[in-house]
């Protein structure tokens, strides 16, 4: 197991405990430990009854014949026989209940422009864009790529796809042209929805240009729809005749109503590409009915959502957090939320707290990496603002160190707001381990206990139960992934083979403490979590070896003060070729181009060779120790021990 030792050390000394404030607990959906335990027991004893009851709160064109069908495991089916539509449950249901005028989204652009959109307006925009897509020939199950900044049209496009049964594949707008190409080709995308640009730290990112480069020569793409974001700073867009159209032109002359397609339970809802240990990113498949119920219920209970809440999740819709906890889960609950386009430090480091004050945000969900940046920027940015509207805080994406947790608790939560540290993954669809804010006493740095219906275990490689080991999930749950697009074998092999199909394997290490709480210890595979973004080290390695001067490379993750983890690359250059800053620059440019700037390594180190076992396997443990400046442990299994001395000296030289 290769968990990150530093996080293990810091959390193993952590014994503080924070029970929910009694005022919070008194009005919470799940109030008190006993209530959580009772409902949890019920959900494990009879999961089908539990999930059916939750599903009853939503709209169905036709109810299910069975709740869970395990006959083709691990290809589980949930709510088989039902017909429903996510966009109907996010929009129409609230209008029918007389809440159409309620604000769905307070949107704020980075330059300070703002739009308030009610559920009724959202419905209208979604219907119009859905009709526009249909007019361009989009049909049920067609794959649509969405490459947009954090503007309302991003949520609108997602829901318009769901409305007509098209499958969205959102690509985070920080990904490069090559990443777009890989995703478009893998899923045979017929339409790409993008914008002329999007704001980031005062600059305009020219997204349409990146799309043009990414899809050049991709014959599957018949249509590109371009949202005009850059009114103030018009961006020169090269509109290709017959392929490209402006969003505002397409929605100008279509009907206001678009009936929601009656989707089958296991119809594909979306693809979201994520990194794994090997190969290119995989298209994680989420389907309709199970994801619908899971995103709805986890949002309701974990954020304790009430009708007068103002919720704000700072993630981008380009990641799973934005799919589930900006669009589907939150909108199904009909609450008001804030959506913000830009950076947390533009125009200054107080921007997030300005937004909380302005919109009276009551629930705030962000990433540990952001919290660590706020800590570094200093408390003054926070204390000047009125954050008294907050009642609940959350974190997601990576382990939170106890220091950052305590700062969040004191400075942002005024020691009053419970913190939900939510552990989950692109694959799980929604929260898996998390405190229940009105019930669970929290511990700094701990994701605590399972959500209803989730049965975790901590196992050895051989499937024996241990206190600290590999996290496993025993029962299927409605939000689980249904496959990897186009690769059922990889799906089985990656997630279900480790313990012979008996457990789901998420790839994280974990420890259970004396209270039965689960502490996440980081990944056990070669996936690194940089600022909450999953990056496979193999992806970087395969980019480096494409360079004509590079013979071999190994990339490892090391602890990073702000980002949680950073990447360090070890590169072996072909004999006789230059190894200098010029080559370093070329390698960085290649990463920018193939993956995106967020995947840049902190350091690139040249070495004459890499430490290998006698059977030729690169010893990453040793590379990690070198990169962390640690004493090297046992190196006797190395084929050539002098290699590491060489590397260590180079590393110290900087
Ligand atoms: C939602 C999301 C998943 C990986 C996951 C784990 C790490 C996420 C965490 C956490 C510790 C938490 N992770 N939440 N680790 N505590 N609260 O981030 O999905 O991008 O697929 O990443 O992130 O390692 O396996 P995704």
Mean pLDDT throughout 325-337?
A: 98
Q: Is 229 annotated as a binding residue?
A: no
Per-residue pLDDT for 323 more than 90? yes
The least confident of 201-205, 264-268, 380-384, 626-630 is 626-630
Mean pLDDT throughout 500-521?
A: 96
Banded model confidence at residue 6, pLDDT cuts 50, 70, 90: very low
Ligand 1 pocket, residue 518 CB under 6 Å: no
Per-residue pLDDT for 8 more than 60? no
Ligand 1 pocket, residue 148 CB under 6 Å: no
CA distance linking residue 75 with residue 338, whole number of Å: 36
C-alpha 563 – ligand 1 centre gap (Å): 13
Inter-CA distances, 415 with 20, 404, 432, 495, 549, Å: 10, 14, 25, 39, 55
CA distance linking residue 284 with residue 565, whole number of Å: 24
Whole-number pLDDT of residue 11: 67
C-alpha 369 – ligand 1 centre gap (Å): 12
Mean pLDDT, all residues of the chain:
94
* β strands within 375-482, DSSP E: 392-396, 419-422, 456-459, 468-473
Ligand 1 pocket, residue 286 CB under 6 Å: no
**Contact of 273 with 183, CB cutoff 8 Å:** yes
C-alpha 530 – ligand 1 centre gap (Å): 11
Runs of H (alpha helix) within 31-151: 33-45, 47-55, 86-87, 93-96, 119-135
**Contact of 164 with 258, CB cutoff 8 Å:** yes
Ligand 1 pocket, residue 508 CB under 6 Å: yes
Whole-number pLDDT of residue 20: 96
The least confident of 47-61, 175-189, 477-491, 605-619 is 605-619
- If you take atom 26 of ligand 1, which residue's CA is the nearest one? 425
Q: What is the pLDDT of residues 73-129, one digit of tens each?
A: 999 999 999 999 999 999 999 999 999 999 999 999 999 999 999 999 999 999 999
Ligand 1 pocket, residue 88 CB under 6 Å: no
Ligand 1 pocket, residue 277 CB under 6 Å: no
Whole-number pLDDT of residue 193: 98
Q: What is the pLDDT of residues 486-499, one digit of tens each?
A: 999 999 999 999 99
Per-residue pLDDT for 7 more than 50? no
Mean pLDDT throughout 155-180?
A: 97
- If you take atom 17 of ligand 1, which residue's CA is the nearest one? 423
Ligand 1 pocket, residue 447 CB under 6 Å: yes
Q: Is 572 annotated as a binding residue?
A: no
CA distance linking residue 453 with residue 619, whole number of Å: 39
**Contact of 497 with 463, CB cutoff 8 Å:** no
- Please state the φ and ψ torsions of residue 328, each to the nearest 5 degrees: -70, -50
Q: What is the pLDDT of residues 235-254, one digit of tens each?
A: 788 999 999 999 999 999 99
* Token pair recorded at residue 263: 């989707």
Looking only at Cα atoms, what is the longest distance across the chain?
74
Beta-carbon count within 10 A of 34 CB: 9
DSSP 343-394: -TTSSSTTHHHHHHHHHT-SEEEE-HHHHHHHHHH-THHHHTS--TT--EEE
- If you take atom 5 of ligand 1, which residue's CA is the nearest one? 425
Ligand 1 pocket, residue 274 CB under 6 Å: yes
C-alpha 123 – ligand 1 centre gap (Å): 32
Mutate to test the pocket of ligand 1, among 433, 520, 536 (most ligand atoms within 8 A of CB): 520
Ligand 1 pocket, residue 396 CB under 6 Å: yes
Ligand 1 pocket, residue 424 CB under 6 Å: yes
Ligand 1 pocket, residue 534 CB under 6 Å: yes
Whole-number pLDDT of residue 648: 83
Mutate to test the pocket of ligand 1, among 425, 429, 449, 521 (most ligand atoms within 8 A of CB): 425
Banded model confidence at residue 10, pLDDT cuts 50, 70, 90: low
Per-residue pLDDT for 534 more than 60? yes
Ligand 1 pocket, residue 64 CB under 6 Å: no
Ligand 1 pocket, residue 520 CB under 6 Å: yes
Whole-number pLDDT of residue 499: 97
C-alpha 217 – ligand 1 centre gap (Å): 35
C-alpha 491 – ligand 1 centre gap (Å): 19
Q: Is 201 annotated as a binding residue?
A: yes
Whole-number pLDDT of residue 234: 67
C-alpha 506 – ligand 1 centre gap (Å): 10
C-alpha 397 – ligand 1 centre gap (Å): 4
- DSSP strand pairing (392-396 vs 363-366): parallel
Q: Is 425 annotated as a binding residue?
A: yes
User: What predicted TM-score, i.e. pTM, was given to this entire model?
Assistant: 0.94
Q: Is 533 annotated as a binding residue?
A: no
Banded model confidence at residue 654, pLDDT cuts 50, 70, 90: low
Whole-number pLDDT of residue 14: 79
Whole-number pLDDT of residue 4: 44
How many percent of the chain have pLDDT more than 70?
A: 97
Whole-number pLDDT of residue 26: 97
Mean pLDDT throughout 151-167?
A: 98
Whole-number pLDDT of residue 5: 43
Beta-carbon count within 10 A of 199 CB: 23
- If you take atom 1 of ligand 1, which residue's CA is the nearest one? 425
Ligand 1 pocket, residue 445 CB under 6 Å: no
Mutate to test the pocket of ligand 1, among 294, 531, 534 (most ligand atoms within 8 A of CB): 534
Ligand 1 pocket, residue 401 CB under 6 Å: no
Environment class of residue 242 by beta-carbon count within 10 Å: exposed (0-12), middle (13-18) or buried (19+)? exposed
Mutate to test the pocket of ligand 1, among 270, 398, 404 (most ligand atoms within 8 A of CB): 398
Per-residue pLDDT for 523 more than 60? yes
Residues 6+ apart with CB under 8 A from 57: 296
First to last CA, the chain: 29
| Closest ligand 1 atom number to CA of residue 395 | 17
Whole-number pLDDT of residue 639: 78
Banded model confidence at residue 649, pLDDT cuts 50, 70, 90: confident
Ligand 1 pocket, residue 320 CB under 6 Å: yes
Residues 6+ apart with CB under 8 A from 446: 11, 14, 421, 513, 517, 518, 519
Q: Is 221 annotated as a binding residue?
A: no
Ligand 1 pocket, residue 196 CB under 6 Å: no
C-alpha 396 – ligand 1 centre gap (Å): 7
ipTM of this predicted complex? 1.00
């Amino acid at each position: 197991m290769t968990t990150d030792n530093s996080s293990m050390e810091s959390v193993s000394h952590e014994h503080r405990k924070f029970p929910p404030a009694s005022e919070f607990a008194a009005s919470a959906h799940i109030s008190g430990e006993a209530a959580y335990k009772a409902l949890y027991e019920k959900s494990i004893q009879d999961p089908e009854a539990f999930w059916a009851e939750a599903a009853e709160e939503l709209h169905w064109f036709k109810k299910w014949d069975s709740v869970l069908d395990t006959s083709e495991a691990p290809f589980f089916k949930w709510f088989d026989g039902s017909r429903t539509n996510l966009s109907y449950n996010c929009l129409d249901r609230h209008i029918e209940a007389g809440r159409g005028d309620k604000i769905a989204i307070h949107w704020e652009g980075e330059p300070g422009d703002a739009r308030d959109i009610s559920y009724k307006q959202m419905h209208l925009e979604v219907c119009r864009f859905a009709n526009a897509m249909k007019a361009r020939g989009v049909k049920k199950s067609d794959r649509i790529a969405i490459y947009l900044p954090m503007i309302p049209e991003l949520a609108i496009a997602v829901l318009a796809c769901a409305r007509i049964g098209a499958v969205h594949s959102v690509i985070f707008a920080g990904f490069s042209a090559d990443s777009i190409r890989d995703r478009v080709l893998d899923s045979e995308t017929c339409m790409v929805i993008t914008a002329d640009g999007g704001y980031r730290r005062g600059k305009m990112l020219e997204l349409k240009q990146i799309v043009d480069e990414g899809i050049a020569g991709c014959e599957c793409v018949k249509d590109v729809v371009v949202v005009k974001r850059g009114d103030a700073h018009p961006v020169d867009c090269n509109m290709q005749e017959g392929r490209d159209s402006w969003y505002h032109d397409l929605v100008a002359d279509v009907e206001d109503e678009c009936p929601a397609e009656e989707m089958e339970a296991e119809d594909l809802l979306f693809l979201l590409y994520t990194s794994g240990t090997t190969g290119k990113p995989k298209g994680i498949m989420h389907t309709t009915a199970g994801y619908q119920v899971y995103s709805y219920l986890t949002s309701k209970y974990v954020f304790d959502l009430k009708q007068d809440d103002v919720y704000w999740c700072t993630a981008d819709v380009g990641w799973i957090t934005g799919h589930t906890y900006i669009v589907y889960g939150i909108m199904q609950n009909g609450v008001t939320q804030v959506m913000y386009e830009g950076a947390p430090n533009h125009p200054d480091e107080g921007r997030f707290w300005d937004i909380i004050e302005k919109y009276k945000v009551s629930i705030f969900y962000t990433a540990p990496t952001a919290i660590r940046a706020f800590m570094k920027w200093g408390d003054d940015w926070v204390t000047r603002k009125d954050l008294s509207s907050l009642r609940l805080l959350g974190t997601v994406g990576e382990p939170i160190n106890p220091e950052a947790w305590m700062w969040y608790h004191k400075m942002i939560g005024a020691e009053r707001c419970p913190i939900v540290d939510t552990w989950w993954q692109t694959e799980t669809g929604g929260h898996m381990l998390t405190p229940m804010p009105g019930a669970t006493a929290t511990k700094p740095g701990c994701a605590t206990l399972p959500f209803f219906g989730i049965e975790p275990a901590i196992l050895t490689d051989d499937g024996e139960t241990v206190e600290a080991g590999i996290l496993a999930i025993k029962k299927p749950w409605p939000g689980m992934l249904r496959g990897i697009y186009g690769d059922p074998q990889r799906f089985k092999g990656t997630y279900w083979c480790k313990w012979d199909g008996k457990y789901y394997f998420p790839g994280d290490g974990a420890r259970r403490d004396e209270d039965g709480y689960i502490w996440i210890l980081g990944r056990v595979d070669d996936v690194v979590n940089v600022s909450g973004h999953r990056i496979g080290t193999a992806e970087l390695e395969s980019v480096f070896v494409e360079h004509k001067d590079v013979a071999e490379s190994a990339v490892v993750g090391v602890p990073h003060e702000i980002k949680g983890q950073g990447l360090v690359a070890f590169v072996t250059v072909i004999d006789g070729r230059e190894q200098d800053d010029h080559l370093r620059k070329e390698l960085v440019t290649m990463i920018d181009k193939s993956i995106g700037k967020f995947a840049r390594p902190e350091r690139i180190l040249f070495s004459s060779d890499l430490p290998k076992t006698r059977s030729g396997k690169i010893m990453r443990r040793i590379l990690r120790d070198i990169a962390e400046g640690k004493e090297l442990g046992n190196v006797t299994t190395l084929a050539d021990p002098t290699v590491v001395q060489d590397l260590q000296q180079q590393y110290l030289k900087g």
